[in-house]
Amino acid sequence: MKSVSLKFLVEKLDLEIIYKSSDFEKIEIELNEINRPGLQLSGFFDNFPYKRIQIIGQPEDEFYNKYLPFNERRDRFDTIFSYKIPALIYTYSISIPYEVFSLAKKHDRTILRSNYGSTRLISKMNAILEYALSEEIRIHGGLLEVFGMGILITGKSSIGKSETALELIARGHRLVADDAVDIMKIDDKLYGQSPKNIRHFLEIRGIGILDIQRLYGVGAIKRSAEIDFIIELEKWDDDKEYDRLGLDESYKTILGVELPYIVIPVKPGRNIALIVEVAARNIRQKMYGYNAAKELNKRILDEIKNKSKLGENE
């Protein structure tokens, strides 16, 4: 289970610490959802998502100050703090009532405060947690941005992945990762980046390690990219029948996300970088509703139909 320390969130979001619990340094956040305890302040504690960070904004603050008697208000916060919540955060720099502070101290729970409004704070916190807690996998391959599309290039060692990447970079496209790609799932989309220690580097057998940023400039590299489709390079097999029309669409699943998948056979004389460029353009056309293979198939079927009608008339 991945987690993010509460201390990291406090530093990242510049949160003010009102009361620090004794286990503050050890608190880990494992869920990317946030809870606004309006129901709990009204007395409903069934299915209380206490493992989430709790946020109190202006509506909650006005509700318990205007509509709850002091004893009732104290009882509600006493119950909230009796659960092992990671932290209670006040937004809009709201003043913390003394009874809330004393109850947090009694139960040893952290209270924080933010200058941000509730919506903005939740948005920023969700972005941090979504990224940090996302599912992740490392795949052997390369990732490039070609015509604005993220292409994950896979295949066996020495098939030509790095050489293809180098030619694509020379054509003006951008390198994200070579040899190893760290893939994260965020909002049902896949994003890839290079492991930090090999970022911007590319290995070419016979030459060695190349620093792409120094050789081609910052415009030739990119920190991360959304993965739009997968291309697998494989050695040409004369006994294998390869797709020549493109009517059948294939997909590959990574972390539960289906991506368009193409197999490109490699043999001497084939310009793989050019084929990758064309594949990127073709996939983009399909995304916008145009499929060249289906259009050709339609024309052929229409021609056959017209000829059969002419035959019947004769």
161 is catalytic: yes
**Half-sphere exposure at residue 36, Cβ-oriented, CA atoms within 13 angstroms:** 15
Identified catalytic residue from 140, 171, 205, 298: 140
Active site residue 173: no
Distance CA 16, CA 101 (A): 14
Catalytic residue among 52, 109, 161, 173: 161
Query: Is residue 140 among the annotated active site residues?
Result: yes
Of 46, 187, 196, 244, which residue is the catalytic one? Answer: 244
CA angle 13, 36, 62 (to 5 degrees): 100
Assess whether 244 carries a catalytic annotation: yes
Query: Rounded distance, CA 54 to CA 61, Å?
Result: 13
Of the candidates 272, 271, 293, which has an alpha carbon nearest to the alpha carbon of residue 282? Answer: 293
Helices 161-170 and 272-287, packing angle to 10 deg: 70
Q: From residue 177, give the alpha-carbon distance in Å to each of 67, 164, 174.
A: 57, 13, 9
Query: How many angstroms separate the CA atoms of 301 and 12, rounded?
Result: 61
Angle at the Cα of 284 (from 169 to 198), degrees rounded to 5? 30
According to DSSP, the β-strands at 257-266 and 229-235 are parallel
DSSP state of 223: S
Please list the active-site residues.
140, 161, 179, 244
